[in-house]
Structure 1
């Protein structure tokens, strides 16, 4: 699956899954464009500075090329606590990062995606949307919105040959999850909760995102794909 000459924008490429995907696509000779709060180390890309907890700055992506063949929105949150302890601000912050940031990025680049005659949008949900998990109220609420957005956009944009899919991971060994995997006891307990006996890696999610961006995934749209070690479906 060749990405040579393809223009791909990755939001949240400075660490975790986004960085793993950028490394993967760089090896495939894609033309990369990245956006995050800080520069992306080890990646040759045109970088845009954007803190997704804030609205998209006007005109930020005006220098992106046309067409844009792929958009991947990787930012997320992990804020786990009893429901009664969540404030309105907690929910708003999670919604801004997980949902409004994705909406802003898609709206700002849609014209360029339309010109690709076969573009792909990849978003990220969580296993906690379809599988009820205690203390996940805020993240499940915002990522649930991402799943609805994914299906709605897939339907609306299909005539323009723009595909939209989402990956729904379980716990993955990224900086975002560092507090949940901060010692061997926590890591072992997390691993045991998954039927396959371990947590995920950024590269596994990056490989799935690469597939959805590629020609090999060109007949797939409107899907929420679980990459979760079996925890979402198996006992």
Structure 2
């Protein structure tokens, strides 16, 4: 399909933004979403300058009615939904397990887990009816590893990967594919908040076999592959993009 229709949540910064720009350069139609109207409209204009027919829809993935409306607007505008990238996420409040609360848990899980579930729910409603489509959830290498002082975030990404595999099996016979991309250390605002200092960030670089932190564009490339016909026989998979960090 020469002009696929792509939906991206959490599109305003970092990996989501890089992915939106990459799809726009490839000629896709785009629906991009986030919670900040001004930033969303600015991104919409930038995507249109790249030649994409693009629209921003303000939505909070924690709310079922807003996600339903987001998907319905995408279909009303373009008539179908070929791929969806569920990128909206937060690191929550990192820290020791003994410092976590019901509130810190909810901050993380409502966005990372409930938001992914609600997004898939409404995306699959459309894709299974049209008998085609590709969903790509954004996880983390922490989705299949552990990490001290990040237990709630780690748990949320384990849940995302479980959702991904289960949904893939559930809808495989309909022609819809569901996969996830698991970034390693990637140069985003979230990584800056996690590491806290330039020294800690440099130490993280030294642990990556390719001797650099990933760029959001590295993750976007993997997403574009999974959305493409080149990945037509790939479903239920977690594609790790981490410069070799988890290989040893």
Q: TM-score, normalised by structure 2?
A: 0.87
For 2:82, the equivalent position in structure 1 comes to: 69
CA distance in 2, matches of 1:88, 1:209: 33
Secondary structure of residue in 1 paired with 2:84? strand
Indicate which of 50, 62, 70 corresponds to 2:59: 50
In the alignment, is the contact (CA less than 8 A) between 1:165 and 1:221 conserved in 2? Answer: yes
Higher helix share: 2
Which of 34, 37, 41 is 1:36 aligned to?
Answer: 34
Distance in 1 (alpha carbons) for counterparts of 2:47 and 2:11: 9
1:163 aligns with 177
| Alpha-carbon spacing, 1:60–1:211, altered in 2? closer, same or farther (3 Å) | closer
Q: Which whole-Å deviations, capped at 9, do the CAs of 1:138-158 have from their partners, x for residues lacking one?
A: 011111111110011000110
- Give per-residue Cα distances to partners, 1:81-130, cap 9 Å, x unaligned: 11111111111221111111111122223232124433100001111232
1:59 aligns with 2:69: yes
| TM alignment of 1:1-235, pairs within 5 A | 4-38=2-36, 39=40, 40-41=42-43, 42-44=46-48, 45-57=54-66, 59-65=69-75, 66-78=79-91, 79-180=93-194, 183-234=197-248
Distance 1:129 1:148 in 2: 9
Query: How many residue pairs were aligned?
Result: 232
DSSP 3-state at the match of 1:140: helix
**SS in structure 2 at match of 1:204:** helix
1:210-229 alpha-carbon deviations (Å, 9 max, x no partner) = 00000011110000111112
Please say which of residues 166-175 and 148-157 is displaced more in the overlay: 166-175
**Mean CA deviation greater in 130-139 or 55-64:** 55-64
CA distance in 2 between counterparts of 1:172 and 1:113 reads 30
Compute the TM-score of the two structures, normalised by the length of structure 1.
Answer: 0.91
2:233 partner SS? coil
Asked whether the equivalents of residues 53 and 93 of structure 1 are also in contact (C-alpha less than 8 Å), the reply is no
Structure 1 residue ranges (4+ consecutive) displaced by more than 6 angstroms after TM superposition: none
Segments of structure 2 that go 5 or more residues without pairing to the other structure are: 49-53
RMSD: 1.8
Q: How far did residue 21 of structure 1 move?
A: 0.7
The CA distance in 2 between the partners of 1:156 and 1:125, in whole Å, is 19
Q: Is the Cα contact below 8 Å between 2:62 and 2:115 reproduced in 1?
A: yes
Unaligned stretches of 5+ residues in structure 1: none
Distance (whole Å) between structure 1 residues aligned to residue 72 and residue 133 of structure 2: 18
